[in-house]
C-alpha cells in the first residue's frame, strides 16, 4: 500500500511539474493514436456501412418480400398486402413489378437508319409513386426534372446510369442513352409492345440498383406488358423502427401469418449480398491491422518518452533507492505517468470521435464512388480499443522504468555506467 | 557499545590487470552516539568506505555489522528496507526530488515507513522546523538556496529518527557560511539527541567538531584522532 502511495505521489508530482507543452504534445500524440485506432477502421467499415445504410434507406427497406425459389412472382400479392395493412409496425410498403424493357430516345429525329439507334436495354420498375416514395424517399433522388405525379400518366423516371452523361466513360461498355433530358420523349418497348413516355426526371443514388432502373407507374407497366395478374416481383417494407431487432421480430410475426408459403421474407441484413458482409469483415481486419501499427508506434513513443524521462532522472532514482524507497514505488510513478497520458489522450479521442467526428460524417458523408462513407464507431469496439491501448501503454511505461530502476543503486547515484 | 563493526574491508573494481583496489583491508568500529569524520585527500577511498558502511555498496571482502545485522549478507530488497528503517543520508548534491516540495521530500521516507499522511506531514514539518526552515514547507527545491536545500536534506535524513546518519561531503557544494550552518546542525543533532553520525569531508575545519577523525590515504586508515 505504501509502495503505491509513494508511486502515486512521485508520479502525480512529475506530471504536475512537467513542461506543459511537452505534456500537451504527448497527450496530443496519444489522442491521434486513439483516433487512428478508431477512425481508420471506422471509416473503412463505414464505407460499407454507408453503402448498407443507403441500400436500406433507398432501395430495399427494412423487410423484403420476394418470390419463392420455384416461383416467378409473389403468390397472392393482394393477401400479403392485406396482412401488411393490419400490422401497425409497418409504416409503409411498396409493391414493385419488374420487366425488361428497351428504351429508345430521339427516334423522331433519327434520319440515318444506317447508324445504331439511341436505345438501351434496361430493367423497368413498376411502382406506385406515392407508396414507393413513402418507403425509399425516391423523390429525394431526383437530380433533374421532377418526381412522378400520381394523378398524371405517360411519364417515367430514368436512372442516371442509363444516361451517357452520368456513366463517366463506361457508356461504350454498358450502353447508354445520349442527350436525353427531362421533357424528352422516349419509347419504351416490352415484348414488342411499345408506348411513348415523357421523361419526368432523372434519378441518381449510390444505393444498389436505384440509379439503373427505369421507373414507370405500375399500372402503366402492367398495361404495357399486357399482364393481368397483380402478383408482384417484390414488396419492400418500411418499419416504424428500423433496427435489426425489430426487423427480425416483424419477420417472425409475418411468418406466423403463413406468408412464407406465398413468398420469401428476408430482413434487410439477410437480403444483403454476401460479398458486402465479406468486404465489411475484410475492411474491419484491415482497419484493425492499421490500428495495431498505430498502437505499436504509440507504445514506442511512450517507451521513448518514459525512457528519456527515467534516464535523465537516473541519479534521482538511485538516491530514492538509496534512502529506502523501493523499486516498485518508483516504477509505479512512471507507469502512472504513461497511464495518465493514455487515459487523457484516449478520453480526448473519445470526445472528438463521439462529440464531433461521428456526427460530422453522418451529416457530411465522404463522397466515395460507390457509397457515402460514414464513420462507424461502435461503443463496445471503442471500449476494447481503449483497453488495448491503455494496457499496452502501461507496459510501454513500465519497461523503461524497470530497466533504469534495476540498475545498481550506487552506480546510479554516482552517475557511473 | 559499537553500532558499526567493519572488519578487513576490501573493495576492488574491475578485473584482471585493470583491477583497482580502492579499500585495502580496513577495520572500523563506531560507537553508538559517536560523531565520526572520515577524512583524506581525493582518491583516498573515504567515500568508498562510507558506501560500504552505509549499505549502499557491498565490499569485495570483509564484514560489516550494523546494529547487530550482517549487512553484507542482505539481498537488494532487504538492504533497501534496512536503509529505510535504520539509516539516514545526506548527499553532497542535496539529492532532493525536484518535483516535490520541501515537506514532501521529507515525508517520502516516512510514508514509505507506513506512517499515515497526516502523521508524516507533522513529522516532516517538525524536522524542517528543526533545521531552521520554518514556513518553507511548500517551497520546491529550486526555490531554495543551496544551504537551505542541504538543510532540507538533513531534515529528510533525520525525520524518521535513524540509528545512524551518514553525510557524504555535505558541505562540498556550499559556501563557508552555509557549510558551517549545515555541519553545526549535524553536530547539534549529535549532541542533543545522541544521533550517531558518520561524515565524510576533506575540509578539516568541519571535522574539528567531531568526536573522532579517521584519516585515510591510498585505501588504508593511516591514523585516528580522538578529539573528545
Please name the member of B57, B99, B112 whose beta carbon is closest to the beta carbon of A13: B99
DSSP letters for A232-280? -SEEEEEESS-SHHHHHHHHHHHHHTTGGGTSEEEEHHHHS-HHHHHHH
B97, closest residue in chain A (CA to CA): A316
Tell me which residue of A39, A29, A7 sits closest to A393, measured CA to CA: A29
Within a domain: B159: yes
Cβ pair A323:B108 closer than 8 A: yes
Residues of chain B with a CB closer than 8 angstroms to some CB in chain A:
51, 56-57, 77, 80-81, 83-85, 87-89, 91, 95, 97-100, 104, 108-109, 111-114, 140, 156-157
What CA–CA distance (Å, rounded) separates A272 from A270?
A: 6
Cβ pair B91:A321 closer than 8 A: no
What CA–CA distance (Å, rounded) separates A291 from A349?
A: 14
A326, closest residue in chain B (CA to CA): B80
Within a domain: B177: yes
A57, A66, A373, B25, B100 from A367: Cα distances, Å: 17, 31, 7, 83, 54
Cβ pair A323:B111 closer than 8 A: no
Eight-class DSSP state of B145: -
Q: What is the mean pLDDT of chain B?
A: 89
Report the gap between the CA of B223 and the closest CA in chain A (Å). 27
Cβ pair B84:A14 closer than 8 A: no
Domain that holds residue B139: 35-44+76-222
- Is the CB of residue A326 less than 8 Å away from at least one CB of chain B? yes
The owner of cell 409504416 is A91
Report the pLDDT value the prediction gives residue A112, as an integer from 0 to 100: 67
Within a domain: B54: no
Which three-class secondary structure state does DSSP give residue A178? coil
User: Model ipTM?
Assistant: 0.86
Report the gap between the CA of A376 and the closest CA in chain B (Å). 43
Report the gap between the CA of A382 and the closest CA in chain B (Å). 35
Within a domain: B166: yes
Report the pLDDT value the prediction gives residue A114, as an integer from 0 to 100: 67
What CA–CA distance (Å, rounded) separates A249 from A243?
A: 10
Within a domain: B1: no
B55, closest residue in chain A (CA to CA): A322
Split into its structural domains, chain B has a count of: 1
Phi/psi of residue A188, nearest 5 degrees: -110, 125
Report the pLDDT value the prediction gives residue A168, as an integer from 0 to 100: 67
Report the pLDDT value the prediction gives residue A80, as an integer from 0 to 100: 92
Which CATH number covers residue B210?
A: 3.40.50.300
B87, closest residue in chain A (CA to CA): A323
Phi/psi of residue A208, nearest 5 degrees: 50, -130
In A, which residues are within 8 Å of B114 by CB distance? 1-2
pTM value is 0.71
Within a domain: B157: yes
Report the pLDDT value the prediction gives residue A196, as an integer from 0 to 100: 93
Taking 50 as the pLDDT cut, the residues of chain B under it are none
Contact predicate B196/B30, CB 8 Å: yes
B108, closest residue in chain A (CA to CA): A6
Q: Give the pLDDT of chain A (417 residues) as one tens digit per residue.
A: 778 889 999 999 988 888 899 889 889 988 988 888 888 778 888 878 788 888 888 988 999 999 998 999 999 999 999 999 998 889 999 999 999 999 998 777 666 666 677 888 999 999 999 999 999 999 999 999 999 998 889 999 999 999 988 886 665 556 788 889 999 999 999 988 899 999 999 999 887 788 999 999 999 999 998 888 889 999 999 998 878 788 888 889 888 888 889 999 999 888 887 777 788 788 878 877 887 887 788 788 878 888 888 888 888 888 889 888 989 999 999 899 889 998 999 999 999 999 999 899 888 888 877 677 788 888 888 898 889 888 988 888 899 889 888 888 888 888 777
- Is the CB of residue A323 less than 8 Å away from at least one CB of chain B? yes
Phi/psi of residue A239, nearest 5 degrees: -100, 155
Cβ pair A316:B111 closer than 8 A: no
Query: For an interface test with B, which of A17, A310, A322, A416 has the most B Cβ atoms less than 10 Å from its Cβ?
Result: A322
pLDDT tens figures, B138-159: 999 999 998 899 889 989 988 8
In B, which residues are within 8 Å of A326 by CB distance? 77, 80-81, 112
Please name the member of B99, B108, B156 whose beta carbon is closest to the beta carbon of A17: B99
Cβ pair B80:A319 closer than 8 A: no
Amino acid at each position: 500500500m505504501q509502495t503505491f502511495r509513494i508511486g502515486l505521489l512521485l508520479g502525480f508530482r512529475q506530471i504536475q511539474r512537467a513542461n506543459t507543452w511537452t505534456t500537451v504534445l504527448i497527450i496530443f500524440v496519444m489522442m491521434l493514436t486513439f483516433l487512428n485506432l478508431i477512425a481508420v477502421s471506422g471509416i473503412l467499415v463505414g464505407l460499407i456501412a454507408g453503402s448498407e445504410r443507403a441500400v436500406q434507406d433507398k432501395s430495399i427497406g427494412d423487410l423484403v418480400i420476394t418470390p419463392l425459389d420455384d416461383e416467378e412472382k409473389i403468390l397472392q400479392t393482394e393477401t400479403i398486402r392485406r396482412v401488411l395493412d393490419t400490422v401497425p409496425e409497418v409504416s409503409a410498403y411498396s409493391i414493385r413489378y419488374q420487366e425488361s424493357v428497351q428504351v429508345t430516345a430521339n427516334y423522331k429525329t433519327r434520319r440515318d437508319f444506317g447508324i445504331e439507334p439511341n436505345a438501351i436495354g434496361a430493367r423497368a420498375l413498376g411502382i406506385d409513386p406515392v407508396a414507393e416514395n413513402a418507403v425509399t424517399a425516391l423523390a429525394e433522388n431526383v437530380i433533374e426534372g421532377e418526381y412522378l405525379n400520381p394523378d398524371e400518366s405517360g411519364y417515367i423516371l430514368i436512372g442516371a446510369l442509363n444516361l451517357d452523361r452520368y456513366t463517366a466513360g463506361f457508356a461504350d461498355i454498358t450502353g447508354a442513352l445520349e442527350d436525353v433530358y427531362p421533357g424528352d420523349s422516349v419509347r419504351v418497348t416490352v415484348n414488342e409492345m411499345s408506348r411513348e413516355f415523357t421523361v419526368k426526371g432523372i434519378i441518381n443514388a449510390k444505393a444498389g440498383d436505384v440509379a439503373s432502373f427505369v421507373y414507370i407507374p405500375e399500372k402503366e407497366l402492367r398495361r404495357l406488358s399486357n399482364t393481368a395478374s397483380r402478383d408482384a416481383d417484390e414488396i419492400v417494407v418500411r418499419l416504424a423502427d428500423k433496427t435489426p431487432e425489430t426487423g427480425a421480430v416483424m419477420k417472425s410475426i409475418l411468418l406466423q401469418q403463413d406468408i412464407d408459403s406465398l413468398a420469401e421474407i428476408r430482413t434487410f441484413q439477410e437480403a444483403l449480398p454476401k460479398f458486402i458482409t465479406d468486404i465489411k469483415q475484410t475492411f474491419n481486419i484491415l482497419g484493425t491491422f492499421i490500428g495495431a501499427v498505430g498502437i505499436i508506434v504509440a507504445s514506442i513513443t511512450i517507451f521513448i518518452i518514459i525512457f528519456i524521462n527515467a534516464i535523465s532522472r537516473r541519479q534521482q532514482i538511485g538516491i530514492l533507492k538509496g534512502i529506502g524507497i523501493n523499486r516498485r514505488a518508483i516504477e509505479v510513478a512512471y507507469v502512472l505517468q504513461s497511464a495518465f497520458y493514455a487515459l487523457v489522450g484516449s478520453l480526448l479521442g473519445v470526445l472528438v470521435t463521439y462529440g464531433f467526428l461521428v456526427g460530422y460524417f453522418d451529416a457530411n458523408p465522404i463522397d466515395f464512388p460507390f457509397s457515402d462513407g460514414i464513420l462507424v464507431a461502435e461503443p463496445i469496439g471503442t471500449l476494447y480499443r481503449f483497453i488495448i491501448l491503455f494496457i499496452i501503454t502501461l507496459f510501454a511505461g513500465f519497461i523503461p522504468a524497470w530497466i533504469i530502476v534495476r540498475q545498481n543503486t550506487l552506480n546510479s547515484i554516482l552517475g557511473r555506467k | 557499545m559499537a553500532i558499526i563493526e567493519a572488519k578487513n574491508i576490501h573493495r576492488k573494481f574491475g578485473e584482471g590487470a585493470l583491477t583497482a583496489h580502492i579499500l585495502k583491508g580496513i577495520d572500523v568500529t563506531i560507537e553508538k552516539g559517536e560523531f565520526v569524520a572520515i577524512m583524506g585527500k581525493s582518491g583516498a577511498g573515504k567515500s568508498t568506505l562510507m558506501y560500504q558502511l552505509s549499505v549502499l555498496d557491498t565490499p569485495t571482502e570483509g564484514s560489516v555489522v550494523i546494529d547487530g545485522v550482517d549487512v553484507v549478507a542482505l539481498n537488494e530488497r532487504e538492504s533497501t528496507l534496512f536503509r529505510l528503517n535504520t539509516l539516514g543520508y545526506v548527499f553532497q548534491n542535496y539529492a532532493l526530488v525536484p518535483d516535490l516540495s520541501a515537506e514532501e521530500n521529507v515525508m517520502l521516507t516516512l510514508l514509505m515507513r507506513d506512517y499515515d499522511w497526516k502523521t508524516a506531514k507533522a513529522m516532516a514539518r517538525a524536522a524542517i522546523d528543526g533545521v531552521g526552515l520554518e514556513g518553507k514547507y511548500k517551497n520546491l527545491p529550486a526555490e531554495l538556496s543551496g544551504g537551505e536545500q542541504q538543510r532540507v536534506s538533513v531534515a529528510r535524513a533525520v525525520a524518521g529518527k535513524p540509528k545512524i546518519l551518514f553525510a557524504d561531503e555535505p558541505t562540498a557544494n556550499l559556501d563557508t557560511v552555509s557549510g558551517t550552518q549545515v555541519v553545526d546542525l549535524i553536530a547539534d543533532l549529535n549532541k542533543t539527541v545522541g544521533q550517531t553520525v558518520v561524515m565524510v569531508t576533506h575540509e578539516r575545519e568541519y571535522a574539528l567538531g567531531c568526536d573522532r577523525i579517521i584519516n585515510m590515504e591510498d585505501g588504508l586508515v593511516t591514523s585516528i584522532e580522538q578529539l573528545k
